[in-house]
Structure 1
Amino acid sequence: MSTIAASSNAQRLALFYREVIGKKIAMALSGVVLFGYVVIHMAGNLQLFAGREQINDYAAKLHSSAPVLWGARAVLLTAVIVHIYTAIALTRLSYAARPDGYRKKGHRHSNLPARTMLWSGMVLAAFIVFHLLHLTTGTAHPQFQDLKPYDNMVAGFQMPVVALFYVISVVLLGAHLYHGAWSMFQSLGISHPRYTPALRKFAVVFAFLLTVGFAVVPLAVLFGVVR
């Protein structure tokens, strides 16, 4: 019976996902997972300012339990796949549903982050791949040392091209998060004239703080504040 029930639930979930509202909710929920990861990751990066021992110990603790680490990575990877796949599906549905004339007029009323969500998402996907190769596996880092994030970040961000690429990418991340957070509230039904302005302000502040929190690390290394 449990197998039949699980199969029935999976079918209902698949049917729900086929609907636009199902895709929007999947987009929002996967976004919540990614938002949470981004906040935790930023907090980890900022430990660079606490010194070599602090951030290196933090990295060692994260890697001390392989099941927990790989479990978290599996959840994160699933959220990324769902988010990207659903974003492409919703974009296709949006373009297919709009006549050319309406589509052209629509650009006047949407903001820049909203119009560039797909493109900024593609750039961020490329950045994530580079980031993993650069500071996680060390494949793209000429002086990589295992479980020594302090030395890896200092050596990596002393290269102006790399540091500026990170800064540009996190600015795009901020724009992406602003519109993503705002859309998430609407998709989950958290929208009301009474508190909509507060939610919009929260999205702006949230995106701004994360952008600054990520950008300050490569900039601090590039300008010699952290050595």
Structure 2
Amino acid sequence: MAAVATFYRSTIGKKVLMALSGILLVGFVVAHMVGNLKAFLGPEALNTYAGFLRDVGEPLFPRELLLWIFRIVMLVAIIVHVAMAYQLTRRDLSGRPVHYANKKMLQASFASSTMRWGGLIILFFVIYHLLHLTGGMVGWSTTTPFIHESAEGFQTYQNVVNAFQSWPATLFYILAMGALGMHLYHGVWSMVQTLGLNSKRFNTFWHGLSVAVAAVCFCGFISVPLAVLLGLVH
């Protein structure tokens, strides 16, 4: 246990925990993006997918049990990721003289230098997104109310269409996905370095993978709200 505690307190230990939690979160982001694209297949495809997420495991497990286990795992991953980021940021800033920090800021890439602010933007967006399209608690009106599950099943497709029929909502979503894309690019590349996978032989591949993951997720996520706004998904 002493060795585990020592590892946790070390900078590399915190970076490893951040990387491992990041892997779980990246996997979720990619899967969530793929699921969202079912909107292009029509109402039945997206609504059936939404129902599947809640019914998976039945009748062996109670309805939504596996979904809630998954949600708890993701919540723990987010808490670990944010906590490690906060602790590493404090350690990093307290251990550097001001002139050195400023010099590093000038030399850092745009993605790297905005990593912390991007993370805060993403965290705020995730909370809003859950309240908006999962809970139906914010962002709706009496003229376009959130449609909850009923005897007819889920109306996820119609909720998505109703949510993105205005420029402000779509623009906010696109900006948040831009922050996510930058975070993914820098995060995947940092994971590779933290876990010791980088080398001169494979760095080109890993860098390309970082760019690809960020670009594919960004384009995949914004494609649905843009399609709704342009009337391609209705």
Q: Which TM bucket (shorter chain)?
A: over 0.9
Alignment of 1:98-137 (within 5 A): 98-137=96-135
Identify the range of structure 1 (118-127 vs 106-115) with the bigger mean alpha-carbon deviation: 106-115
| Structure 2 gaps, min length 5 | 56-62, 149-153
Equivalent position amino acid for 1:162 in 2: A
Instruction: For 1:9-28, list aligned pairs within 5 A.
Output: 12-28=3-19
State the Cα distance separating 1:197 from its structure 2 match.
1.6
Which amino acid in structure 2 is aligned with residue 47 of structure 1? K
State the 1:103 CA deviation. 1.0
Shift of 1:13: 3.0
2:214 counterpart of 1:207? yes
Task: Using the TM superposition, give the Cα deviation of residue 12 of structure 1 relative to its aligned residue in structure 2, in angstroms.
Answer: 3.9
Q: Distance in 2 between matches of 1:173 and 1:194?
A: 28
State whether structure 2 residue 35 is matched by structure 1 residue 44: yes
Gaps of 5+ in 1: 1-7
**Partner SS for 1:144:** coil
Cross-structure match for 1:225: 232
**What amino acid is the match of 1:226?**
V
Residue 165 of structure 1 is aligned with which of 172, 187, 211? Answer: 172
> Shift of the alpha carbon at 1:96?
1.1
Question: Cα deviations across residues 22-47 of structure 1 (Å, max 9, x unaligned)?
Answer: 00000000000000000110011000
How far the C-alpha of 1:206 sits from its partner, in A, is: 1.1
Moved more, 185-194 or 135-144: 135-144
Q: What is the CA-CA distance between 1:67 and the residue it aligns to?
A: 1.3
Give the secondary structure class of the aligned counterpart of 1:151. helix
| Cα displacement string for residues 129-151 of structure 1 (whole angstroms, at most 9, x for unaligned residues) | 11001100000133211232100
Partner of 1:67: 65
Q: Secondary structure at the match of 2:232?
A: coil
What is the identity percentage for the equivalent residue pairs of Structure 1 and Structure 2?
43
The AA in structure 1 aligned to 2:224 is V
Q: Match of 1:37, as an amino acid?
A: F
Aligned pairs, number: 218
SS of residue paired to 1:73: helix
Bigger fraction of residues in helix: 1
Structure 2: distance between partners of 1:85 and 1:20: 13
Q: CA deviation at 1:109?
A: 1.8
For residue 63 of structure 1, give the secondary structure of its aligned residue in structure 2.
helix
Residue 123 (structure 1) shift: 0.7
Measure the CA separation in 1 of the matches of 2:128 and 2:168: 13
RMSD: 1.0
Per the TM alignment, residue 219 of structure 1 is displaced from its structure 2 partner at its CA by 0.6
CA distance in 2, matches of 1:14, 1:156: 46
Q: Work out whether 1:32 is the aligned partner of 2:2.
A: no
Letter in 2 for 1:139: M
**Aligned residue number for residue 184 of structure 1:** 191
Q: Deviation string for 1:197-223 (max 9, x for gaps)?
A: 211111011100110000111111111
AA aligned opposite 2:134: T
TM-score with structure 1 setting the length: 0.93
Compute the displacement of 1:226 (Å): 0.7
The amino acid across from 2:185 in the alignment is Y
Q: Displacement of 1:101 after TM fit?
A: 1.3
Taking the aligned partners of 1:190 and 1:96, their CA distance within structure 2 comes to 28
